[in-house]
Chain A
Amino acid sequence: MAHYLVRRFLYLIAVLVAVTFTVSLMLSLPAGDPAQVLAGPEASAAQVDAVREALRLDRPVVERYIDWLGDAVTGDLGNSLRTNEPVIDSIRDRLPVTLELVILGQLLALLFAVPAAIFAAYRPGRPADAATTVSSFLMISSPSFIVALLLIRIFSVELGWLPTGGWVPLSENLGDNLRAAILPVIALALEPAGIYQRLLRSDMRRTLDEDYIMMAEAKGLGPRTILLRHSLRPSSFSLLTMIGIVSARMVGGSVIVETIFGLPGIGRLLIDSIGFRDFVTVQGVVAVIAVAYVVVNSFVDVLYGVVDPRVRVDAAG
């Protein structure tokens, strides 16, 4: 087990290095003078020099990356080209917003998916099952940017119930915070909710086809006990894995939602920085998102390995 964790950890480090290095590499790949390209066509010579200086583009990629990595490990992600503030500070300011969106999004998705899956698995093939299946597919197939726009139209424009955007920090006012969060969270949760419902329903159906369920039925256990105790629990395994994968993906998906609703999260920071061609910040934000993504995925893998020894053997072999 310890051996496995060490291997996993080394792998995690390797992926982190690869992701951050890829970003570094991409910054020096544009044809011609990368600094000129990154600074944009209208940049003055001084601005181009500033970009070259800040990103150390005059140096070989590997050297530049090692410098960046050395600073990054100590928490120094450089200073923004736009505001000259430390990048790490703006990330720290904005991270709680994104985390709140992801956590609430997960809760909402599960709140829909688990009952809907049980409902559908209980009587497969019936209209109720078909209806939940179709709505799950619809949820999976609806891009968050469309959902966000339609929600704004309905709940903000038509009904006037909720703000079209903006953010109130949790520390200021809980009610206003939730009012600001509710539409973005729905937009973010819709796709995962559909995925979870499909996954859990199919796993539960498989479990319900097992012999021991028939035994339980024969013993006269009620559908409630069978569904919740004997079927949901053994079926929730792959759901847990999926929650991990989706958590990581949601951090990326929040880019769109934060942009549409004007929320000060790190996804918005990324898009804004790209707009201002502030590639020091871009590099920092991507590094942080990548770390979150890779760490969550690894955590899920390890969890899987702890629970199911077969995975460990495969991973080692």
Chain B
Amino acid sequence: MLPGEIVEELDLPGGPTPVATLPEAAVQAPRRRRLSGIRLIAAAWLVLVVVLCALAPVLPLPDPEAGQGAIAASPGSGHILGTDQLGRDILSRILWGGRTSFFVAALTTGIAMFLGLAFGIIAGYFRGRIDWVIAGVADFVLAFPALILLIVLTSVFGLSIRNLVLGLSILGTPAFVRIARAHAMTVSQREFVLAARGSGARNGRIMVRHILPSVVGPVAAYALTFAAVVFVAEGSLSFLGLGVPPPTPSWGGMIAAGRPWLDRALHIVLVPSIVLIATVLALNFLGDRQEQPGRRR
């Protein structure tokens, strides 16, 4: 409440007040997320693996698909991580297999995230009938048993990375739609969206310039978790012989191939297992919203 008299009594200068004298400019602490110790380790691991995988063609590595003589050699002896059941260098296969896994995970996550953002923002911004259709289809797809459908998909259409990516992205999109839609709905209520419309902005501009930037954060966090799921799913399918087609190295495939040697040469299974678990763990840690400061648990 501001009584009229007070305005007069204050006898403020007619001109606008200079910035410098304005009281208490609320300078909030920058909201940059700090990486806790464990998240830092997770990020470092991911960077390390991605860089090494990316550099695999230029690193001095033996051919990942050719035997090197010594079969199932233990780690250390000339081969840092040993050789597998066919005498192939495990480090080389890990890095080349990682290229496939990261490619599948990145492409799948990219497609699912893009589709999820597009449909989720449209549904959450426009609401009404289009929302009903999009949210309905998303719920529908979520009701499908994903792993089973993937197994049938690859068994019918044959093994190929393209089919794997296609299936995983279709089944992964609905979760992205839900998250993007929920956040878009909240942001659409904010007054800055109304203000943009008041300025004459068209719907497309509002969705891209004003809603997308607020929605992309939480969706990107989920993308990390989703990428972890893709790694596990791709590994599981490759393990079952229904994922990445051999002889292309893949982590799941390496673990499956080492299975008969479980009692004699554990490292054939253990090395790719540790790399896969560490990668999935790192993605899960980085994608976990609960761990972020400023959020009540």
Contact = CB atoms under 8 A, between A and B. Distances in A.
Interface of A: 14-15, 18-19, 22-23, 26-27, 29-30, 37-38, 124, 134, 137-138, 140-146, 149-150, 152-153, 157, 198, 202, 205-206, 209, 248-249, 251-253, 255-256, 259, 270-271, 274, 279, 282, 286, 289-290, 293-294, 297
Contact of A209 (B232, B259, B266, B296): B296
Interface string B123-156: 0000000000000000010011111110111011
Interface residues of B: mostly helix, strand, loop or mixed? Answer: helix
Nearest to B155: A274
Contact of B236 (A30, A38, A143): A143
Given A140-B284, A146-B276, A271-B240, A15 B156 contact: no
19 contacts: A19-B143, A26-B157, A124-B297, A134-B38, A137-B284, A143-B236, A143-B280, A145-B239, A146-B235, A149-B259, A152-B262, A202-B290, A205-B297, A206-B296, A256-B240, A274-B151, A279-B156, A293-B143, A293-B145
A145 B239 CA distance: 8
A256 B239 CA distance: 9
Contacts of A286: 145, 148-149, 152
A22 B155 CA distance: 14
A142 B277 contact: yes
Contact of A157 (B140, B242, B262): B262
Contact of B146 (A143, A150, A252, A259): A252
A125 B158 CA distance: 49
Contact of B151 (A144, A145, A270): A270
Nearest to A282: B152
A27 B297 contact: no
Interface of B: 38, 140, 143-149, 151-153, 155-158, 228, 232, 235-236, 239-240, 242, 252, 255-256, 259, 262-263, 266, 269-270, 273, 276-277, 280-281, 284-285, 288, 290, 296-297
Nearest to A142: B277
B156 A253 contact: no
Q: Which of A15, A144, A202 has the most CB of B within 10 A?
A: A15
Given A146-B255, A206-B297, A255-B151, A22 B157 contact: no
Contacts of B155: 274, 282
A134 B37 CA distance: 12
Interface residues of A: mostly helix, strand, loop or mixed? Answer: helix
Contacts of B273: 146, 149-150
A26 B242 CA distance: 16
A157 B259 CA distance: 12
A200 to B, nearest CB: 12
B165 to A, nearest CB: 17
A290 B252 CA distance: 26
A264 to B, nearest CB: 17
A145 B255 contact: yes
A298 B240 CA distance: 30
Contacts of B269: 146, 149-150, 153
Given A18-B140, A282-B155, A294-B143, A141 B281 contact: yes
